[in-house]
Amino acid sequence: MATKSKDYNFLEIEPHWQSFWDKNHSFRAESSTTKPKYYVLDMFPYPSGSGLHIGHPEGYTATDIVARYKRAQGFNVLHPMGWDAFGLPAEQHAVKTGTHPSSNTQNNIVNIKRQIKALGFSYDWEREIDTTDPKYFRWTQWIFLQLFKKGLAYVDKRPVWWCPELRTVLANEEIVDGKSEVGGFPVERRNLRQWVLRITAYADRLLADLKDVDWPDSTKRMQEAWIGRSEGAEVQFDLEDKSHGPLKIFTTRPDTLYGCTYMVLAPEHPLVDPLTTPGQKSAIDAYRKKAAGKSDLERTDLAKDKSGVFTGAYAINPINGARVPIWVADYVLMGYGTGAIMAVPAHDDRDYEFAQHYSLPIVQVIAASEAETKLPYTGDGKLVHSGPYTGLDWPEAKKRITADLATKGAAKATVNFKLRDWLFSRQRYWGEPFPIVWLNAADYARAIAKRTGDVPATPVTFTSEGVTHYALPLPPSALPLELPDVQSYLPSGNGESPLANETSWLEIWFNVDTGAAVPASNPCPAGDVWVRGRRETNTMPQWAGSCWYYLRFTDPKNSQAFASQEALKYWGVPDLYIGGAEHAVLHLLYARFWHKVLFDLGEVPQSEPFTKLFHQGMILGEDGEKMSKSSGKGVTPDAVIASHGTDTLRLYLMFLGPLEAQKPWNPQGIEGVHRFLQKIWRECLDVEGAVNPKVSDDPSVDSTELIKLLHETIKKVGENIETLRFNTAISQMMIFSNAVQKAPAVSRATMLTFLQVLAPFAPHIAEELWERLGGAGSILRAPWPKYDASKLVNDSVKLVFQVNGKHRGDQLVPINLPQDEALALARGNAKVMPHLEGKTLKRVIYVPGRILNIVVE
């Protein structure tokens, strides 16, 4: 039932149709159907306290248009929404107020959900998910256990930001200018026990499979760069003092070995201490201390001012026996390669700078091109000063030198990745608890006797103060492991999360069969299945929940599995995924990793999670600057909905420019699309709200031009939705509505068809006018109109006459006019004639129906 609104009262119309869709479950994805599926997904939001930003509805409108279009085309569409609700702000709020982060999170969800619903998106709310819901994170924990079982999770000490004043670990974003964001206290790097996921085991496949996905090239390249594969060789240099064994380095340029004039160790390299001669010890110690105190940021800032200290030790170059001094410098990182390099100052910018600074020798071994004779030379060339290899092209020399050294056992070809294993734990409260209990060696041995099949081949252990602890997973039947209530959300103060203070939850008698627990302060229950354990106090990072949520949407209420095999088989992975480019690397890489693990386990049928990806561009402030919270320039969707309606907002966001472009927000532009909708309203209805008398039941009132334009519009809008070019789709609809306005009459059928084309963009006004013009049922159920190609052809067309490529005139001519006739017309054209006078015709280019170019001397 439509409203009785006389004029375009969007404040009445929009809520009316939203509740109509709600009541009719209009957007429910069907679970048993023979229809083809289409799965279109938004990157789900973090429910922040400040609510929806204008950037959110941009991407959401784009996916909603696609979803509505695909439904009209007969697809069974899955278009879900949920909440990525673990996260730092809720935890900080809890620390400040002492209330449980869950209550704050739920309040935020209520607010942001209200905002999203007011936009009229066609989400299937019955599939809503929340990553903080134990029914959801039960499966996040379950997936972690699969990684654990496969040996892809381990525990290690890793450096994190530590604030001695606040006695807490800080995230990168909690540090501003090298100080804590809260209080401005100094911070330092500190090694803490962390869970790490072995994403590097998938580096090759994460790289190779990028070729199979339809993603923006820039995003693929960013992932490639992040994975950072490089081929080279690990080369062994003997040390002059053989008691410390050989020194291994990684190089991508073994062909430049003859140019190695010194070596560099990272300050953290284990050989630094043993190698340093007594005379250099104090200088080295001072340098290491300084380097250790530096943040990565400071090390980066000093990029242009290389520093280092000589250890006093020498190595022997395996290729020519040369004696090479060994230095320590912080431009070499312990985390990449072997933490040691051979320096070739003639052919590496950093080595050159360092050698210049410390007056180390520079030996050129690659002949520079004639154009570029300055050192350092990093280009291609043939080898010089390189013994038997002199004269070889460098790629050939690289192979030969590596192979020759390999026969002596002094080198092996290797591949290195920049990608590091993923630090997967946080010393926080508000995250998924790890379903892990730490046991002593004897209890672990007893436990795994009963628990074959869900522990890794090599136990995950951690040694502290001489005692080794063994990680035993909870049995899957004991999931979810929920967060206990805590007295305080403040961290423990010793580097552990607030969970470390909850002794009765932490220190337990643990039933290795069932996962049941009893506080350790109680007597140990009877039976041989009970062992003394301590729970893991770390929680998972926010990424965990977002790594697999797209799978849960296919079967969100399943309590037997993260999703049923039938659901996974039918829905598969999203056909279209839209979200911000800020997630180009981390979220997308982590999700791909988890997906591939699940694929290897046979849990999902495809090897890649997101076949087609698109990034919406950022909406900038009116001044073209970023809209930031601090600048107070944020435009809220709520305000625009109140003043112009959501149909206008949706249309405007799409009309601003190409979806992927960064676009400034211009409030005056909103009026333009709002007028467009009002115009459509007036063409359909008169001032009393009755059908406009110019709308006729007689189809013959439509001019040929109007019919042609209608079919052009159907074609163009459909094509533009497919290619996500919504701005030009809207232009086309404006052209059509302008034509209708100028026409003395329009047929009801034409108007209804136009409303169908408009419906994905402005669904509320389309439903309203559809019903008031007598359209059958909801416009959602009307099949997408097909254009008639025969209506698009013209009998005559404007042919452009050019002389020497310059537009000189044009004329309406029959389509497929032969060239000689076209040429005759052009020669007779009053505007073209003067440009031909006295000239010799050299050539004629004729593109029928388009252009006739006369080339004259």
Query: Residue 615, interface with RNA (CB under 7 A)?
Result: no
The CA-to-CA distance between both ends of the chain, in Å, stands at 71
User: Dihedral of CA 264/267/272/276: which sign?
Assistant: positive
Nearer to RNA, 386 or 511 (CB): 386
What's the closest the beta carbon of residue 835 comes to RNA, in angstroms?
8
- Sequence-distant (6+) residues with CB within 8 A of 367 are 381, 382, 383, 384
Between CA 155 and CA 477, with CA 448 as vertex, the angle to 5 degrees is 85
Residue with smaller CB distance to RNA, 487 or 668: 668
Binders of RNA among 322-351, rule CB under 7 A?
330-337, 339, 341-342, 348, 350
Q: How many residues make up the chain in this entry? A: 857
Among 37, 299, 385, 446, binds RNA (CB under 7 A): 299
- The pattern of x and - marking residues 739 through 778 that bind RNA according to CB under 7 A reads --xx------------------------------------
Q: Which stretch binds RNA (CB under 7 A): 188-196, 297-305, 505-513, 778-786?
A: 297-305
DSSP-assigned states of every residue in 59-128? HHHHHHHHHHHHHHTT-EEE---EE----HHHHHHHHHH-S-HHHHHHHHHHHHHHHHHHTT----GGG-
Please return the burial class of 437, using the count of CB atoms within 10 Å of its CB with bins 0-12, 13-18 and 19+: buried
Determine if 639 is a binding residue for RNA (CB under 7 A). Answer: no
Phi, psi of 363 (to 5 degrees): -120, 120
- From residue 547 to residue 586, what is the string marking binding to RNA with x (rule CB under 7 A)? ----------------------------------x-----
C-beta of 110 vs 847, nearer to RNA: 847
Type and span of the H or E element at 246: none
Return all residues near 389 (Cβ < 8 A) that are at least 6 apart.
255, 258, 383, 397, 400, 401
Rounded to a whole number of angstroms, the minimum distance from the CB of residue 846 to RNA is 9
Interface map 708-737 toward RNA (x if CB under 7 A): -----------------x-xx-xx--xx--
Kindly give the pairing relationship between strand 663-664 and strand 619-620: parallel
Q: Is 399 in the site for RNA (CB under 7 A)?
A: no
Asked whether position 619 contacts RNA by CB under 7 A, the answer is: no
User: Is 587 a binder of RNA (CB under 7 A)?
Assistant: no
Closer residue to RNA in complex, CB, 516/833: 833
Residue 661 lies near RNA (rule: CB under 7 A) = yes
Q: Which is nearer to RNA, 304 or 323 (CB)?
A: 304
Residue 98: left (phi > 0), alpha (psi -120 to 50), or beta? Answer: left
Q: Which of 180, 236, 251, 497 binds RNA (CB under 7 A)?
A: 251
SS3 174: helix
Least distance CB 626 / RNA (angstroms)? 6
Angle at 379 between CA 376 and CA 380, to 5 degrees: 135
Q: Residue 184 or 379: which CB sits closer to RNA?
A: 379
Residue 340 or residue 474: which is nearer to RNA going by CB? 340
The candidate with the shortest Cα–Cα distance to 495, out of 258, 163, 134, is 163
Stretch near RNA under the rule CB under 7 A, chosen from 140-148, 244-252, 515-523, 608-616: 244-252
d(CA 781, CA 766): 13
Does residue 851 belong to the site contacting RNA (CB under 7 A)?
yes
Q: Is 357 in the site for RNA (CB under 7 A)?
A: no
Report the site for RNA in 22-81 (rule: CB under 7 A): none
In this complex, which beta carbon is closest to RNA, that of residue 127 or of residue 253?
253
What are the C-alpha distances in Å from 427 to residues 165, 304, 339, 424, 533?
16, 35, 28, 10, 19
> By CB under 7 A, is residue 855 in contact with RNA?
yes
CB of 798 to RNA, least distance (A): 4
| 358 lines the binding site for RNA (CB under 7 A) | no
Taking the least distance from each CB to RNA, the nearer of 22 and 204 is 204
Separation between Cα atoms, residue 184 and residue 574, nearest integer Å: 44
Q: Are 472 and 517 in contact (CB under 8 A)?
A: no
For RNA (CB under 7 A), the number of binding residues is 80
Least distance between RNA and beta carbon 762 (Å): 14
Choose among 436, 480, 482: nearest CA to 461: 436
Q: Which is nearer to RNA, 102 or 678 (CB)?
A: 678
With contacts defined by CB under 7 A, name the span among 97-105, 246-254, 570-578, 637-645 that binds RNA: 246-254
Closer residue to RNA (CB): 37 or 294: 294
Tell me the closest approach of the beta carbon of residue 654 to RNA, in angstroms.
11
Stretch in the footprint of RNA (CB under 7 A) among 57-65, 178-186, 248-256, 818-826: 248-256
The answer to whether 647 contacts RNA (rule: CB under 7 A) is no
* C-alpha atoms less than 13 angstroms from C-alpha of 476 in its C-beta half-sphere: 17
Mask: binding to RNA, 428-467, rule CB under 7 A, as x and -? ----------------------------------------
User: What dihedral do alpha carbons 296, 302, 303, 308 form, nearest 10°?
Assistant: -90
Dist CA 252 CA 402 (whole Å): 11
Region 665-684 residues binding RNA, contact defined as CB under 7 A: 666, 668-669, 671-673, 675-676, 678-679
Q: What is the DSSP string of 539-589?
A: B--THHHHTSHHHHTTSTT-SSSSS-HHHHHHH-S-SEEE--GGGTTHHHH
Cα 169 to Cα 172: distance, rounded to the nearest angstrom: 10
Which residue number, 346 or 517, has a Cβ lying nearer to RNA?
Answer: 346
Rounded to a whole number of angstroms, the minimum distance from the CB of residue 381 to RNA is 17
- Quickly list H helices, 610-744: 637-644, 646-655, 667-684, 704-722, 726-742
- Binders in 820-839 for RNA, by CB under 7 A: 831
808 lines the binding site for RNA (CB under 7 A)? yes
- For the four alpha carbons of 826, 830, 832 and 834, in that order, the dihedral sign comes to positive
By CB under 7 A, tell whether 794 contacts RNA. no
Least distance in Å: CB of 401 to RNA?
Answer: 13
Element (H, E) at 189: strand 188-197
Positions in 176-235 near RNA (CB under 7 A): 217-218, 221-222, 225, 228, 230, 232
Q: Which is nearer to RNA, 167 or 675 (CB)?
A: 675
Bridge partners (DSSP) listed for residue 232: 414
What is the smallest separation between the CB atom of 842 and RNA, expressed in angstroms? 8
Question: What are the backbone dihedrals phi and psi of residue 71, each rounded to the nearest 5 degrees, phi first?
Answer: -60, -45
Q: Which residues lie below 8 Å from residue 813, measured CB to CB, with a gap of 6+? A: 796, 797, 798, 799, 822, 825
